[in-house]
Amino acid sequence: MALRTLWSQDETTHAALIDALGMTKGAASKVVSRLEEKGLAGRQLVDGRARAQSLGLTAAGKALVPQLAALADANDAHFFGHLPAAERQALTQAMQALVQHHQLKDIPTA
């Protein structure tokens, strides 16, 4: 999601990425740090201030996003393609309602 969000804009702010991902500031910062470590994204200071940062994809990140998007689309088609559109929409709405109700900010694993 972070890569797709950054790919859709040349540059974005940390706050905009946090909103798009629905994560805490710390969690989103960790995601960006991991993307930086892999050479897929970078941060730049805005007006030389450490608190104001612009986020964007590197050339490697921009090249990888379409490949990952194709894999995600193939997975969606494999798992949900047999469902009629109305059922897919109902499933999406049910999952979103669960996330909202439980105020999930991280992917639950157990």
CA dist 67 and 73 (Å) reads 10
pLDDT score, position 110: 52
Q: Where are the domains of the chain?
A: 1-110
CB–CB of 3/61 below 8 Å?
yes
For 6-23, give the DSSP string: HHTSS-EEHHHHHHHHT-
Query: Could you say which DSSP state residue 106 is in?
Result: S
For 1-110, CATH number out of 3.30.499.10, 3.20.20.80, 3.90.79.10, 1.10.10.10 equals: 1.10.10.10
The whole-number pLDDT of residue 64 equals 95
Those residues of the chain that have pLDDT short of 70 are 48-51, 105-110
Instruction: Give just the sign of the alpha carbon dihedral 10, 16, 19, 25.
Output: positive
Residue 56 burial (CB count, 10 A): 16
pTM over 0.75: no
**Which pLDDT value is given to residue 84?**
96
Task: Say what the pLDDT of residue 106 is.
Answer: 65
- Kindly provide the b/e burial profile for residues 62-84, where b requires at least 16 CB atoms within 10 angstroms of the residue's own CB: bebbeeeeeeeeeeeeeeeeeee
Instruction: Give the integer Cα–Cα distance in Å for 106 and 104.
Output: 6
